[in-house]
Structure 1
Amino acid sequence: MIEAKENWSLLGASRGLGLEFSKLIPSLGKSIELFLASRSINNFDFSKEDLYELYCEQIKMTNPHRIFYFAAGGTYGPYGRYEWKDHRWSMNVTFSFPAYLLNYFIKNHGSLKQIIFVGSQIAESKPDPHAAMYCAGKHALKGLVSSVQLENIPFELLLFSPGYMDTQMLPKKAWPREKGLAIDPKVEAINLLNLVRR
């Protein structure tokens, strides 16, 4: 249940699902204070491991009741075409920072009621040709969340796993787009908001 006044942190919400979700928040008719973090908004670069603690401290200073993590990404094409630094970037953004964030807030939960990570209905449970590292990150995220959910942590932990969305981040020749499987992120933003409202 959403209280009359809450603080929400939306991480990686500058485009795609996160942006569409942020546009829906005023429709709740509640007093929701937003902290938005991304590379384009305030230089939060979730690939930089040496800044993870600083980012978490800055998020904690906003006294969040709910944290939403939207950021993810990776190379597109044959795995061997890219350098390791490119694959490491993908794993850091898609898995390592969310894992650090979860560990940090289990120890420093304050008023936190909920963390929701965005998974991937396809990439977290099936092979994803030409997106191997993104797929690996989403598999790892699902494994982490499903395991920690069985522990006695002080807040609700959820994984929201939409299908592939038709955003500028999905490559033009990606198979979900070519097969007509890419979903409008506005639809998934509504689904996510309904999950929070329940």
Structure 2
Amino acid sequence: MIEQNENWSLLGASRGLGLEFSKLVPQLNKDISLFLASRTINHFDFSNEDLFEFYCEEILNTKPQRIFYFAAGGSYGPFGKFDWKDHKWTMNVSFNFPAFLLNYFLKNHQGVKQIIFIGSKIAENDPDPNAAMYCAAKHALKGLVSSVQLENPPFELTLYSPGYMDTGLLPKGAWPRSKGIVSEPSHIAKSLMQLVM
């Protein structure tokens, strides 16, 4: 249940699902205080391992009751086409920082009620041609969250896994588009809010 005057951290909320979700928060009429973090909002670059701890400290300073991690992404095309630095970026944004964040808040959980990570219904369960490293990151995230859930964490730990979304992050020629299996982020955001409520 969402209470009045909660503090929420929305990480990766500058576009796509994170942006659409942030637009719904004022409609709750609960005076939720939002801390928004992304590369474009306040230069939070979740690919930079050297700043992982600093970012977590900044988030902790907001005294969050709920933390939502929306950031993810990766190169699109055959795996061997890209340099290792590109794959490392994908793993840092889509898995390594979320794993660091979870570890940090398991140790510093005062006041935290819930952490929600955004998975991928398809990429965490099936092969994802031309998005191999993203797929690997989402498989890893699902494995991490489902394992830690069984360790009885001190807060509600959730992996919310929608299907593919119609955002600029999904290339025009990507197979999910050609198969017509993409959803509008605004619809997914409403579904996520229902889960939180």
How does the TM-score come out when normalised to structure 2? 0.99
- Residue aligning to 2:129: 129
1:96 aligns with: 96
The code of the aligned residue for 2:53 comes to E
- Distance (Å, rounded) in 1 between the aligned partners of 2:175 and 2:152: 39
1:52 pairs with 2:52:
yes
Indicate the residue corresponding to 1:196 in structure 2: 196
- Deviation of residue 5 (structure 1)? 1.3
State whether structure 2 residue 75 is matched by structure 1 residue 62: no
Q: 2:11 maps to which residue?
A: 11
- Give the Å deviation of 1:110: 1.1
Look up the equivalent residue of 1:53 and give its one-letter code.
E
3-state SS in 1 of match to 2:44: coil
Give CA-to-partner distance per residue, 1:127-154, whole Å, 9 cap, x none: 0000000000000000000000000211
Per-residue deviation at 1:118? 0.1
Please report how far the alpha carbon of residue 120 of structure 1 lies from its aligned counterpart in structure 2 after TM superposition: 0.2
2:82 corresponds to which residue? 82
Which SS does the other structure have where 1:115 is aligned? strand
How far does the alpha carbon of each residue in 1:88-142 deviate from its partner, in whole angstroms, 9 at most, with x for none? 0000000000000000000001100000000000000000000000000000000
Residue 35 of structure 2 aligns to a residue in which SS? strand
Map of 1:34 onto structure 2: 34
Letter of the structure 1 residue corresponding to residue 111 of structure 2: S
SS at match of 2:183: coil
Instruction: Give the alignment's Cα RMSD to 1 decimal.
Output: 0.4
The whole-number CA distance in structure 1 between the counterparts of 2:82 and 2:73 is 14
- Name structure 1 gaps, 5 residues minimum: none
Aligned twin of 1:115: 115
Distance in structure 2 (CA, Å) of the matches to 1:136 and 1:153: 24
Give 1:185's aligned residue. Answer: 185
Question: Equivalent residue of 2:164, what SS?
Answer: coil
1:146 — aligned with what? 146
Corresponding residue SS for 2:32? strand
Q: CA deviation at 1:156?
A: 0.4
TM-score w.r.t. the length of structure 1 is 0.99
Task: State how far apart, in whole Å, the 1-side matches of 2:192 and 2:14 are.
Answer: 16
SS at match of 1:112: coil
SS in 2 for 1:8: strand
2:169 alignment partner in structure 1: 169
Q: Secondary structure at the match of 1:36?
A: strand
Task: Show CA shifts across 1:17-49 (max 9, x none).
Answer: 000000001111101000000000000000000
Q: Following superposition, which runs of at least 4 residues in structure 1 exceed 2 angstroms of deviation?
A: none
Q: Report the CA distance between 1:4 and its aligned residue.
A: 1.1
Tell me the distance in 1 between the aligned counterparts of 2:125 and 2:142.
8
